[in-house]
């Protein structure tokens, strides 16, 4: 499998390098100087594709052998190397520092993984192009997974293409604000891939379907309990966040006014994007990778593009943000619908459905209370420096969240207590 994957990634990398002068101008309409720079940067970063994909395979090998911390460390090495290279060489190389940093840091992660796995004897790295049934079965399962994982990048590619025709600075504002959508998804991707997914695969192999369904429900509830209130906080303090993080040098107050509503719209879909990553892993554990791929393609290529085309005229960049958020929500609904029909889980009992409905209503009440109090503070009571406003609001948010968690008697508070007690016990 490693041999076929290596060969495929070599060919893909060469394809990207060879077609970059045609691909970049086709996707992005800009000045000739900018297009030329983009082509050069793309060619430098293309080898990172090879190292990143193979590193993902090697991380999976470590996860199978319960070496989760080493897999996480390799990602830390890559990110640390990228930041260090960009920081040191940006004054002399400008944008090229980021491009070289991307390829070099990906290589360092790959080299670290190869050295550790070879030292432990988990894999021999002898070149081989086997054609066993297991190899083709793996390809049949992984190709839809890889295509499905690429759909989030299609979201961003679509709004870059549409955004290029709106006005100067729009793509930059879209890029900056969309990072808030990617953050929980990236963290969740690491957690699910490194820890939860191997456990799910073992539970499915043991036919412990009720346990898997329980993990699915608990994970979604905890995710909603954390992300949705945080979404409310970001919506209220969106302008302060933009000013604190981005308003310096060429990023002006006018840019802040453009980016603020984009951030507010994007974070509304933050839960949907994170939940979509989480739910798809359950399909993969059951080797049902085709359904989430079809759902993702429908959401991105049909719904998102259609909504972008319809909304960009009357709403501009905000229309693109709404298109992405709405299509992610529809993706989430379709994945939930398929849980019972595709994975063949037993339908929930009426009492369980009632408990979930009550929990959802409690979450709405909590979010509404937090939102109203924070909105009143931010707009009528406290008006200092943006960073100070965020810190004060964050403290009040934490107090309200913990207080309402107990006042509304959320079931998840017991799970959090058990987790904290277990963590304290492990530390002792």
In this prediction, residue 192 carries a pLDDT of 56
Cα-trace Rg, the chain: 23
Which of 48-52, 77-81, 142-146, 256-260 has the weakest average pLDDT? Answer: 142-146
CA distance 107 to 65: 23
Q: What is the pLDDT of residues 337-396, one digit of tens each?
A: 888 777 766 666 667 777 778 888 999 999 999 999 999 988 887 677 888 899 999 999
Q: Kindly compute the dihedral angle of the four CA atoms of residues 129, 131, 132, 135, in this order, to the nearest 10 degrees.
A: 70
Band of the pLDDT at 237, cuts 50, 70, 90?
A: very high
Mean pLDDT throughout 218-240? 89
In this prediction, residue 265 carries a pLDDT of 93
Length of the chain: 428
DSSP structure class, residue 1: -
CA distance 311 to 317: 9
CA distance 175 to 177: 6
In this prediction, residue 31 carries a pLDDT of 65
Contact 221, 363 (CB under 8 A): no
CA dist 359 to 182, 217, 222, 405, Å?
Answer: 26, 12, 11, 11
How would you label 251-264 residue by residue, b for 16+ Cβ within 10 Å and e otherwise?
beeebbebbbbbbb
CA distance 205 to 207: 5
Q: What is the pLDDT of residues 171-188, one digit of tens each?
A: 777 777 777 676 666 665
Mean pLDDT throughout 190-201? 63
- pLDDT of 418 higher than 60: yes
Short-list 296, 291, 299, CA closest to 342: 291
Kind plus residue range of the DSSP H or E element containing 286: none
- Cα dihedral sign, 266-268-271-276: negative
On whether the pTM is more than 0.75, the answer is: no
Contact 200, 215 (CB under 8 A): yes
CA distance 410 to 289: 34
Half-sphere exposure in the Cβ direction for 389 (13 Å, CA):
24
Mean pLDDT throughout 68-84? 79
Contact 31, 38 (CB under 8 A): no
Mean pLDDT throughout 228-240? 92
Which of 100-104, 119-123, 197-201 has the weakest average pLDDT? Answer: 197-201
Mean pLDDT throughout 296-308? 88
Structure tokens at 103: 């390829």
In this prediction, residue 2 carries a pLDDT of 60
- pLDDT of 95 higher than 60: yes
- pLDDT of 163 higher than 80: no
In this prediction, residue 340 carries a pLDDT of 75
Most confident of 150-154, 200-204, 251-255, 331-335: 331-335
- pLDDT of 261 higher than 80: yes
- pLDDT of 334 higher than 80: yes
In this prediction, residue 287 carries a pLDDT of 76
Short-list 188, 270, 259, CA closest to 229: 270
In this prediction, residue 413 carries a pLDDT of 73
In this prediction, residue 70 carries a pLDDT of 79
In this prediction, residue 268 carries a pLDDT of 92
Q: What is the pLDDT of residues 3-59, one digit of tens each?
A: 666 667 777 777 777 777 777 666 665 666 667 777 888 888 888 888 877 887 777
Half-sphere exposure in the Cβ direction for 282 (13 Å, CA):
25
């Amino acid at each position: 499998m490693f041999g076929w994957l290596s060969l495929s990634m070599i060919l893909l990398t060469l394809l990207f390098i060879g077609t970059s002068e045609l691909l970049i101008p086709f996707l992005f309409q800009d000045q000739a100087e900018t297009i030329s720079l983009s082509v050069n940067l793309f060619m430098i970063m293309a080898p990172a594709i090879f190292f990143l994909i193979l590193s993902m395979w090697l991380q999976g090998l470590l996860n199978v052998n319960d070496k989760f911390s080493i897999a996480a460390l390799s990602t830390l090495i890559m990110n640390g190397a990228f930041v260090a290279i960009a920081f040191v060489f940006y004054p002399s190389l400008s944008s090229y520092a980021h491009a070289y940093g991307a390829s070099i840091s990906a290589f360092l992660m790959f080299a670290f993984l190869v050295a550790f796995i070879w030292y432990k004897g988990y894999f021999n790295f002898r070149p081989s192009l086997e054609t066993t049934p297991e190899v083709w079965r793996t390809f049949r399962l992984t190709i839809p997974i890889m295509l499905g994982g690429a759909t989030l990048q299609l979201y961003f590619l679509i709004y870059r293409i549409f955004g290029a025709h709106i006005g100067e600075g729009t793509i930059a504002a879209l890029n900056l604000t969309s990072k808030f959508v990617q953050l929980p998804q990236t963290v969740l991707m690491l957690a699910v891939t490194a820890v939860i997914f191997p456990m799910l695969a073992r539970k499915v192999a043991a036919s412990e379907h009720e346990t898997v369904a329980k993990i699915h429900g608990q994970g979604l509830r905890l995710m909603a309990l954390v992300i949705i209130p945080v979404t409310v906080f970001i919506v209220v303090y969106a302008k302060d966040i933009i000013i604190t993080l981005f308003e310096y040098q060429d990023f002006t107050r006018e840019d802040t006014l453009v980016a603020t509503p984009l951030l507010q719209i994007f974070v509304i879909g933050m839960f949907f994007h994170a939940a979509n990553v989480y739910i798809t892993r359950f399909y993969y554990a059951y080797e049902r990778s085709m359904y989430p791929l079809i759902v993702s393609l429908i959401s991105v290529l049909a719904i998102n593009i259609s909504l972008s085309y319809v909304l960009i005229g009357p709403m501009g960049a905000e229309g693109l943000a709404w298109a992405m958020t709405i299509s992610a929500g529809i993706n989430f609904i379709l994945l939930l619908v398929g849980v019972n029909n595709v994975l063949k889980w037993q339908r929930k009992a009426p009492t369980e459905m009632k408990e979930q409905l009550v929990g959802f209503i409690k979450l709405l009440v909590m979010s509404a209370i937090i939102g109203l109090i924070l909105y009143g503070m931010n707009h009528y009571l406290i008006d200092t420096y943006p960073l100070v406003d965020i810190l004060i609001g964050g403290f009040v948010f934490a107090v309200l969240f913990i207080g309402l968690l107990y006042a509304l008697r959320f079931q998840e508070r017991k799970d959090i207590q058990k987790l904290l007690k277990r963590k304290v016990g492990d530390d002792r």
